[in-house]
Amino acid sequence: MRVTRSVIPNLFTLANLFCGFASIVASFEGRIEQAAFLIVMAGVFDMLDGVVARITRSTSEFGVELDSLCDAVSFGVAPSVMLYVSFFSQWHQWGLLLASLPALAGVLRLARFNVQLTSMEDKLYFRGMPIPAGAFTIVSYLYVWHTSAAIPSEWKPAIVVSVTVMTALAMVSTIKFDNLPRPTWRGIRQRPLVFSVFLVGVVASISTRGQALFPFMALYLIGGAIRHLAIFVRDRSDRDDSVEEADPDPFTM
């Protein structure tokens, strides 16, 4: 077997997959805190494999496909299993269906991304919420807020269903979501505001031991939807203003 530079980023990608698999096992064993931590670690390895691939100049279509397969497990199946074990198992068949939505939507999201991929360059925006962001949204809610006394018990079923469904819909939507800027001078200069917001979110999440992660991810989801709606309304009004009113047809009543 020929050993190339691509082996290094691929090892980080496989570490992502291992964390996803270990998270699934931890969920079934009832170790939800460890399962959540492993999904976060999978996200760290997912970020590092791209960084290392660019440093070693070893980006390839094989790496993209491998990354998608690993992401499907770590950020699709693992959060769905965590949802089912933590809450939806009590709803039997309906719970199984609802818990599977992040995995189903995530796989569809990855397939669409791979089909539409035209270059290895970083994109400013993703069409649809990235699957790691969807996983972080679900995991941060389950681990911190769903078990918190700050939310009344009677509200929790409706909230967990809403978070699950909205996250799944966001992943398969055509809403544009900001890509995380690379921590390079070029990336910072290109989008300083976006980089600053992401940096504040990361620091706040770490300093609060994860409590700020779900509000930050909810803001990411809702902010993307609001921006998409504002652009849609603006473009629609521009089209309406640019089209002259048609003359009445004399042959119709």
Per-residue 3-state assignment (H helix, E strand, C coil) for 120-186: CCCCCEEECCCHHHHHHHHHHHHHHHCCCCCCCCCCHHHHHHHHHHHHHHHHHCCCEEECCCCCCHH
The whole-model pTM stands at: 0.84
* Whole-number pLDDT of residue 60: 79
> Which pLDDT value is given to residue 160?
95
**pLDDT number for residue 93:** 92
The DSSP symbol for 44 reads H
Tokens found for residue 191: 């989008």
DSSP bridge partners of 125: 178
Distance CA 68, CA 71 (A): 5
Cα separation of 69 and 251, whole Å? 60
Helix (H, G, I), strand (E, B) or coil at 81: helix
pLDDT at 240: 58
Write out the chain's pLDDT in tens, 253 residues: 455 666 888 899 999 999 999 999 999 999 999 999 999 999 999 988 888 887 887 777 888 899 999 999 999 999 999 999 999 999 999 999 999 999 999 999 999 988 887 665 666 788 899 999 999 999 999 988 888 888 888 999 999 999 999 999 999 998 989 887 666 666 677 778 888 888 898 899 888 888 899 999 999 999 989 988 888 888 877 765 544 444 444 434 3
Backbone angles phi, psi at 68, to 5 degrees: -65, -40
SS (H, E, C) 207-226: HCCCCCHHHHHHHHHHHHHH
CA 130/CA 77 separation, integer angstroms: 15
Contacts of 88 (CB under 8 A, 6+ apart): 95, 96, 98, 99, 160
Query: What domains does the chain contain, in order, with CATH numbers?
Result: 7-240 (1.20.120.1760)
Which pair of tokens denotes residue 8?
């290094």
